[in-house]
Amino acid sequence: MSPLAIFHRLAHATYSSLLLSMSQVRSFEASTTWEDIVTRTSLWWEQARGLVVVPVFKFLVALCLIMSVMLFVEMMYMGLVVAFIKLFKRKPEKVYKWVAMDEDDDVECGGESFPMVLVQIPMYNEKEVCEQSIAAACKISWPSSRIIIQVLDDSTDPASKELVKKECERWSKEGVNITFEIRDNRKGYKAGALREGMKHSYVKQCDYVAIFDADFQPEPDFLFRTVPFLIHNPKLALVQGRWEFVNAGQCMMTRLQEMSLSYHFMVEQQVGSSTFAFFGFNGTAGVWRISALNESGGWNDQTTVEDMDLAVRATLRGWKLLYLDDLKVKSELPCSFNALRSQQHRWTCGPANLFRKMAGQIIRSENVSLWKKLYMLYSFFFMRKLVAHILSFCFYCVILPATVLFPEVTVPKWAAFYLPSLITLLIALGRLRSIHLLAFWVLFENAMSLLRTKALVMGLFETGRVQEWVVTEKLGDGLKTKLIAQEPKEEHHVRFRDRVHLLELLVGVYLLFCGCYDIIYGKRTLFLYLLLQSSGFFVVGFGFVGKYVAAASY
């Protein structure tokens, strides 16, 4: 048989099968009504609901209940540790050796008995705050011959760079040992700038390095309160101070941030320091022993949390870290919502990515006890950096609202109300003066949990914007901040699409639907929470929170 004949036969067979299929479709359409399709779809959904959907939701609820209990136990443990510290007055001076230093007693020696200290101030287009931060560093009380102020300027804005340079020259003329350092690229962002700063020849004569971000203003006695710990305790690598916020009362958003960060410093940092001598370095307001920094591998830009990375590596080398809760350093909270979003993305994505990269090293470390490993992996990373964010969004914003659509799935009252209420009250103890804002804090934190969960996934799976670094915009001291924030011109330059955050709006619609469904068909009062939380997502989704100023990308 010729190829042409074979082709004709195949074409005929294909045409015949096509006609047969079309006749079968017409027969099905003729014999099936719309009501039959709806009935069959309804039966299919009921089977899928009973066999798959409901069991999956019950499993997720059980998983969230377990995580809720784990988180509550973790927070109760931390609360008991803080209560023990306060009750028995376990100040760091009672745990570590500390001997006061007096500059006047060393006048005859010209300050030679004092260790050499390097003060680093990394900057990037910080013209709003550069003057106050450099001034605060230059006013630190320490023998002038034993301190070097190093300003690391990565600015791309010529006006900012020139302003910083002139400020350094002004203080240099007043007798301050200050250097102005720049580099020809911004590789590694802040970690890269700090790493390059440590390469200068004059750093070799320094014993310790204090680090202050551009918006931080240390008190003059900062070194006198921190360095003695390092001098008399050779296993201490870091002494970290507490952040105090000059613009906490500027707007509702800054008040809510202050509540969260007060708990972080008052409880989380203090517990880590007091029990296992490990906590995440906050990247500023701290003094490092340079030998410990170098032995731990120096600054590394493998993640966007170079400060936490260094703290982990130093701990794995056998070094200890100390946090001083009563040593407060003035700083500034982001008052722009977009700036806060960028900051929270980095603060969530970075630790998750670091956990991915360092978990194996923590497990294999021979310089760390089993209990400290457990604390680092379970309490520090797993519970606080992963579970807390996942639970806030998945349970309270997705699964709990979905229970109104599936009456077969129930959440006990203790998990839906009592436990989260107790957790919220524990957090509020860190800032009692704002306890009347608890309801707003819950709604805002839940709305922000979507952003954090998304960032967490990026960090764990190392995808998307995992290495994104956006510098948090700063507006200067409290008075200056208020004056700038009241400028009406800024509001008109904010485009509507820059305000809108689609994912938050979609979750808001979902919560609104669940709330309305509960009102119409449900037999509970969950709609009260659902409607309030949906309004929180809408406020965040449309960006009606905080002030509006342009944030710069690092």
Active site residue 154: yes
Residues 123 and 257 in one domain: yes
The two structure tokens encoding residue 71? 């988180």
Helix (H, G, I), strand (E, B) or coil at 331: strand
Residues 511 and 544 in one domain: yes
Q: Would residue 546 be called left, alpha or beta, if left means φ above 0 and alpha means ψ between -120 and 50 degrees?
A: left
**Identity of the residue numbered 306:** E
Q: Pairing relation of β-strands 286-289 and 208-211?
A: antiparallel
**Identity of the residue numbered 156:** T
Residues 386 and 531 in one domain: yes
Strands of the sheet with 178-181, listed across from one edge: 178-181, 147-153, 117-123, 208-211, 286-289, 236-245, 320-331
Residues 117 and 224 in one domain: yes
Q: Confirm whether 21 is domain-assigned.
A: no
Q: Confirm whether 14 is domain-assigned.
A: no
The two structure tokens encoding residue 15? 């045409």
Residues 77 and 127 in one domain: no
Q: Confirm whether 118 is domain-assigned.
A: yes
Q: Find tokens 């797993």 and name the residue.
A: 382
CA dihedral 357, 360, 363, 368 (to 10 degrees): -50
Q: Which domain holds residue 376?
A: 48-90+363-474+494-553
Residues 232 and 280 in one domain: yes
Q: Confirm whether 377 is domain-assigned.
A: yes
Residues 373 and 278 in one domain: no
Q: Confirm whether 482 is domain-assigned.
A: no
pTM (whole model) above 0.85? yes
Residues 324 and 372 in one domain: no
228: Cβ contacts below 8 Å, ≥ 6 apart: 98, 99, 100, 101
User: Can you give the pLDDT of all 554 residues of the chain as single tens digits?
Assistant: 554 454 455 445 444 544 444 454 444 444 457 777 878 888 887 888 888 889 999 999 999 999 999 999 999 999 999 999 999 989 999 999 999 987 665 545 556 789 999 999 999 998 889 999 999 999 999 999 999 999 999 999 999 999 999 999 999 999 999 999 999 888 999 999 999 999 999 999 999 999 999 999 999 999 999 999 999 999 999 999 999 999 998 899 999 999 999 999 999 999 999 999 999 999 999 999 999 999 999 999 999 999 999 999 999 999 999 999 999 999 999 988 989 999 999 999 999 999 999 999 999 999 999 999 999 999 999 999 999 999 999 999 999 999 999 988 999 999 999 999 999 988 887 777 888 899 999 999 999 999 999 999 999 999 988 888 887 777 765 434 333 333 333 444 556 667 899 999 999 999 999 999 999 988 778 999 999 999 999 999 998 888 754 444 34
Residues 82 and 122 in one domain: no
Q: Confirm whether 203 is domain-assigned.
A: yes
- DSSP codes, 426-475: HHHGGGGGGGGGHHHHHHHHHHHHHHHHHHHHHHHHT-SSTT--BPPP--
> Rounded to 5 degrees, what are φ and ψ at 542?
-90, 0
Q: Confirm whether 122 is domain-assigned.
A: yes
How many helices (H) does the chain have, and how many strands (E)? 24, 7
Residues 422 and 513 in one domain: yes
The answer to whether 468 touches 505, Cβ cutoff 8 Å, is: no
At 323, which CATH number? 3.90.550.10
Catalytic residue among 153, 213, 215, 307: 307
CA dihedral 137, 142, 148, 150 (to 10 degrees): -10
The two structure tokens encoding residue 116? 């050499």
Q: Confirm whether 29 is domain-assigned.
A: no
Residues 122 and 69 in one domain: no
Q: Rounded CA gap, 353 and 356, in Å?
A: 5
The residue from 284, 311, 333 where one domain ends is 333
Residues 381 and 267 in one domain: no
Catalytic residue among 153, 154, 325, 518: 154
70, burial (CB in 10 Å: exposed 0-12, middle 13-18, buried 19+): middle
Q: Count of domains in the chain?
A: 2
